[in-house]
Structure 1
Amino acid sequence: MTDSNPSFLGRISLAVSAFFRILGDGEFAAAVLRVRDGGAAAQAQTQAPSPAPKAAPTLKEASPDAALQLLGLLQRDARFIDFVEEDIKRFSDADIGAAARLVHEGCRATLREHFTIRPVRDEAEGSRVTLQEGFDASAIRLTGNVVGRAPFVGSISHRGWRVDDVRLPKLAESHNAKVIAPAEVEL
């Protein structure tokens, strides 16, 4: 594994940590948007003339409480943080695979209990689709040789995911969301 090509588990860890940091840190979210939009803008400039610049979007401050609550639920039901924070170098692939199955099962159950998640696109991966002008660029990312303007014809390489409903438990005023898993002291 290299820094430029992290392993599958490394990418999961990176994606989850970036997800929670984006939810809890508005400045980090803005930096991610700048990197994402800057990379796309640089690619578009080399491939097609750029349209007139649009006004920068208004960023809203995200409350970290919901992200911390989800992290706590994933820890409670799947021991997610224990798994990610464990140094797995000393374990065999079979041991890691067995642990990953348990974490996967718990994470999946937690997501299904607290979110209604569905694919952005209903077509099967590999299906050919045509994207007309005005397609939702927040829900569909163009990859590959992006040249010109819509309509675009291509194949679905990932159907995407969207959340239709969130059912997180309500938090008491006194709840400290930063404590995602209390320490345990056995007597």
Structure 2
Amino acid sequence: MTDPSASLSFFARFWLAWLCFWRCLVSREFAQAVLPTSRAYDAGQLKELPSGDTQAPPPVKTPVVPAPVAPAPLPPEREHASALSLLAMLQREGRFLDFVQENVAAFPDADVGAAARIVHEGCRKVVHQYLTLQPVLPQGEGDKVTVPPGFDAQRIRLTGNVAGEPPYGGTLRHHGWVTTEVKFPTVSSAMEPRVLAPAEVELA
């Protein structure tokens, strides 16, 4: 391989070094321009030209990756659209909201019972259509059950005289419910989820 300095004599190189030395001392811009070439030469990255001169490799451009943009948080009515749609379905099929918003204390028990039968039928239809439920414990209410060590406190709630460590023996007062499948329909973005039931106006 040809020596890169063969085209310059010793005195020419000495004079060039003398000029570069003083220019680096008095000129910040000149020193900054020479620095990349000096570092590339020390790292062995300079390429030899046909004339014997050397040049620094072109700078490598680092691609600019834009910072990820966090999605805007959904408004509460959109975040809870599924729950609001369930209320709307209970109202549509069983008049659930009309029933719970009514002050039933002033009505006779017979009237309340008749209204509850209508609400029960409609709400039961909605629950069976969109949810699959099963008891947490398979035993019947009133049966004796054993609560094992390491039981799930979200599935089994202990009442009464709770003392000591499991296993516990007790009486099942309610078998609980757990959802095994949810089949809610998708809420369209064009719909206003806060409207649970539209006002009804009868025209003459």
TM over 0.5: yes
Structure 1, gaps ≥5 residues long: 1-24, 26-61
Aligned length: 127
**Does 2:165 correspond to 1:149?**
yes
Given candidates 118, 123, 127, the residue that maps to 1:102 is 118
1:67 maps to which of 62, 67, 83: 83
Residue 140 of structure 1: aligned partner: 156
Alignment of 1:18-57 (within 5 A): none
Distance 1:148 1:103 in 2: 44
Structure 2 CA distance, aligned partners of 1:86 and 1:68? 20
Give the equivalent residue in structure 1 for 2:104. 88
1:70 maps to a residue whose letter is: L
1:131 is aligned to 147
**Relative contact order (C-alpha < 8 Å, sep 6+): which is higher?**
1
RMSD: 1.6
Q: Which amino acid aligns with 1:88?
A: V
Counterpart contact for 2:81–2:187, Cα < 8 Å: no
Query: Equivalents in 2 of 1:107, 1:101: separation in Å?
Result: 10
1:88: Cα distance to partner? 2.0
Which structure has the bigger radius of gyration?
2
| Per-residue CA distance 1:122-162 (angstroms, 9 max, x = gap) | 01111111111111111000000000111111111100001
> Cα offset for 1:89?
3.2
Identical positions, percent: 49
Q: What TM-score comes out, normalization by structure 2 length?
A: 0.59
Q: Comparing both structures, which one devotes a greater share of its residues to helix?
A: 1
Cα deviation, 1:34-62, whole Å, max 9, x if unaligned, reads xxxxxxxxxxxxxxxxxxxxxxxxxxxx9
What is the CA-CA distance between 1:63 and the residue it aligns to? 3.2
